[in-house]
Each structure stands twice: as structure tokens, then as C-alpha cells.
Amino acid sequence: MRIARFSVSDDVGYGLIDTDEENGQEYVSRISGHPLMGQIQLTGERAKVEDVRLLSPVLPSKVVCIGKNYADHVAEMSDITGESTEEPVVFLKPSTAVTGPGDPVFYPPISQRVDFEGELAVVISRPCREVPRERAAEVVFGYTVANDVTARDLQKSDKQWTRGKGFDSFCPIGPWIETGLSLEEASDLRVTTTVDGEVRQDGRTSRFIHDIPAVISYVSSFMTLLPGDVLLTGTPAGVGPVEVGSEMSVAVERVGELSNRVITRE
């Protein structure tokens, strides 16, 4: 099941995404209730996806990110982030960094290099802490696509990652949440990023250093995760800079594709 958050004019709601088998057209069917807060029901309202604006599928209290989770990415970034570590590297993006599919990513005037980082993201289903890895599936609501946009020069100069990762619009997520994948299925998905149609990243989640159950168990050992919180699982090799005007598209197999254009803030 694919669950989207969308707007029509000023009306914001949730809906289920389906594809018409005859014409291939995607539709969104409005639901009542909040998908993370209990029972949902179809309202009978249905629209073409192209006729609505898809929003970030959740508004998380926090975005928890895992750095250096692909060995090939660790190698390419060793001069900035150092070598791999025994335990996962964790950092946060503020909720104000979250933006949706099709929304602009703003190039900060104080940065000289902004990079894309395509990732699989996990959406948490319920409040949880100290989750054993064997029970990780119980707290996963579903999966979405994320772009961990980074001001690379600021990340390097600051020696820590909060400013370089935390600008408004630096965490596009979407286009919806895919709830139909098991942990086993999510453990081997293709992750690709293109910039202006050119493939820049092409990896698989099977190359994680720390798998999803390990990440959930580790993060929840020191912070409480809440419904709708988002965990970014790391990016494969191939990260690189974008310019004003660049179109970034991140695709995760069986989940969806997320596109955002880089612009300057007026």
C-alpha cells in the first residue's frame, strides 16, 4: 500500500495511491483519519495524482540519519568524514529541513558546494525505545525516498555536520510511504540518483554496513522514536555537487522516485 499526503488548493489530506491497469494512470483516493494514528477509511473521493500536489508524506518530529553506511561511500569521503566506525554514525536533521516531492531545494548563499545524497528512508510507526533488532519490524510503518542534501564545504570546515545538513529544504522526502515491503525485501533494493538525467549514484541496500534492524536498535537505545519519525539509512558512492538549476532525482526500487530542483531563495 502506498500512502501519500497531498493538497488540493488549501485542503491537505492523506490518500492511497493506485494505478489504473488499463491506462497506467496514477490516482489518489482520499482517506479519513491519520494513517499513523488508528483506523482509516476511504471517503470515496478520487483524483489523478497529476491534479494534486504531493507533499512530504510525514511531518516528523526529527529526522535521524546514518552516516558512512556504505563502504564505497566511506572511501570516497574519507578526507571529510574519516574512516568507518564500529558503531553507526548518527546525526540529526531538523524538522524544518523537510520538504516534499517537486519542492525547491534552496542553495545557501554561504556555501560554495552543495551535494546530493540519495537514500532509502524508514518511517517509524509507534513510540519506541530500546528496540531489540529481532523486533525491529514491529516499529516500521513503511519506506520512502530521501535526499540528504549537504553543504559539503560547511560540513568539512565545521568538523561536525549540523549546519551543513540542516538548512531549510535540505531533506526532501516522498513521494509517498510504501507499507508493503518486509525488512527482508527492504534489505536489497536498488538506489539511484540522477542529476539532469545523468546517473550519478547506483547502489543497493544490500551493501549496508549496518542493516535496518541494527540501525533501529542502535538509535532507539539512546532516544525515543515517535510515530512519523524518519530514519535515513545512508547513501551509496557517487555523491557530488549540484548547481542552481540542477534537477535531482532519487529513485528507490519498489518504493518510488523523488525529484527536486535547486534554486536560489528570492
Can you give the pLDDT at residue 266?
Answer: 74
DSSP secondary structure code for residue 78 in this structure: H
Nearest to 205 by CA among 254, 249, 139, 257: 254
Lowest mean pLDDT among 24-38, 68-82, 172-186: 68-82
Q: Which strands, in side-by-side order, build the sheet including 114-116?
A: 150-151, 114-116, 240-242
Is residue 260 within 8 A of residue 102, CB to CB? The reply is yes
Average pLDDT in the chain: 94
Strands (E), the chain: 2-8, 11-19, 26-32, 41-48, 53-55, 63-67, 89-93, 98-99, 105-106, 114-116, 118-124, 140-147, 150-151, 171-178, 190-195, 198-204, 230-232, 240-242, 247-252, 256-263
Give the integer Cα–Cα distance in Å for 237 and 231.
19
What is the percent of the chain with per-residue pLDDT over 70, rounded to a whole number? 97
Q: Per-residue pLDDT for 79 more than 80?
A: no
pTM: predicted TM-score of the whole model, two decimal places: 0.95
List, for residues 109-144, the tens digit of each pLDDT value: 999 999 999 999 999 999 999 999 999 999 999 999
Is residue 235 within 8 A of residue 89, CB to CB? The reply is no
Can you give the pLDDT at residue 73?
Answer: 72
